[in-house]
Amino acid sequence: MEFHELAALSSGHVAARALQTAVKLGLFDKLAEAEATAAALAQRLSCEPRALALLANALVALELLEKRDDRYALAPVARRFLVGSAADYFGAMVLFEERLFALWARLEASVRSGRPARTADSFQGERGETELFIAAMDDLVRARGDARFLAERLDLGAVGLLADIGGGPGTYVVEFLRRWPGMRAVVYDLPGTLEVSRAILKRNAPWALERLALREFDYHTQEIPEPADAILLSNVIHLEDEQTCALLAQKCFRALNPGGLFLIKDHIMNEALTEPVAGALFSLQLLLTTRGRDYSFKEVTAWLARAGFAAPTLSRLPFPPFTSSVASARKPAD
């Protein structure tokens, strides 16, 4: 690592805070209406003109805005991902990261104690927090394209019923249902999440609700109630400790029909737990907010073997844009 890279690492929060503040102010939405000078934009946003100009110039430097003479306009990446009406809007994820920012100031305490900086409740404690969290997960997967990528590459044509455990807004299920017309699906999740999920689905994919059931479920205390041909765990294992993950794998094994397919999509790490980089860093956020971390394929394989699954395989999604992998295994047919 060169010094300039170290210095950029030390000040990385500056760029993040500039982006988060701009989204929170609604700056990108206002510029989607029309380009503007700093003074005009400040008036639209009820900001002080000199300060707003400093923020706008920083966003130009970050290639999120363009500046022509004294007028600011959206760069293509901002128009695609940061305008609220855009199909690939990413803003809810940016605002969720902004909500977490204060927790990062408590990282030292969490490292010393080993305890989260907040209640590990999957953001279920308050309706507004749940709404932001679930919207952020939906935005991230849609904007990055994870669900579309998997739907184009997985072979789920023989799956009659797919169970998405902890499936949140149903972003993956919607793409799978779109790809395979004969499939039905169930999203199992907590009550607060499902309230938000239902609203997102009604807005984004109302057609899917004819083939998709939303069922309240807590995998800590309940067995999966309906036999399934395939089960998906996407970004679930990283929320939990090792014992809970092993028990959840056993519950999924019991719920699958013979020959059924089990899919785990997550940051699945190398044996040293240092790659992918995004997973190693994300484990620090998980320390602040959950009981979990990102796990290696060796660890995942041990849970699957103990549960009874045969011959797990790992497929790494291409980086960029993806940073995760899919571990898959089948329940023996006999």
Q: Where are the alpha helices (DSSP H) in the chain?
A: 3-10, 12-25, 27-33, 38-45, 49-61, 76-81, 91-104, 107-113, 127-144, 146-153, 171-179, 191-204, 242-255, 277-289, 297-307
What domains lie within the chain, and their CATH numbers?
Answer: 3-82 (1.10.10.10), 145-330 (3.40.50.150)
Non-local CB neighbours of 228 within 8 Å, separated by 6+ positions: 161, 162, 163, 186, 255, 256, 257, 260
The proportion of the chain whose per-residue pLDDT surpasses 70, expressed as a percent, equals 100
Query: Amino acid identity of 281?
Result: L
CA–CA separation, 280 and 222 (whole Å)? 31
CA–CA separation, 27 and 60 (whole Å)? 13
pLDDT band for position 61 (cuts 50, 70, 90)? very high
The label of the residue with tokens 């972003």 reads 171
Across the range 124-151, mean pLDDT stands at 96
Residue 334, pLDDT > 80, answer: no
Mean of per-residue pLDDT scores for the chain: 97
Task: Give per-residue pLDDT as tens, 218-231.
Answer: 999 999 999 999 99
- pLDDT confidence of residue 290: 97
- pLDDT confidence of residue 60: 98
pLDDT band for position 117 (cuts 50, 70, 90)? very high
Across the range 281-308, mean pLDDT stands at 98
The proportion of the chain whose per-residue pLDDT surpasses 90, expressed as a percent, equals 99
Task: Give per-residue pLDDT as tens, 62-98.
Answer: 999 999 999 999 999 999 999 999 999 999 999 999 9
Calculate the CA dihedral of residues 115, 119, 121, 122 and round it to 10 degrees.
-80
Which string of DSSP letters, residue by residue, matches 56-67?
A: HHHHHHTTSEEE
Across the range 108-115, mean pLDDT stands at 98
The residue count for the chain: 334
- pLDDT confidence of residue 324: 97
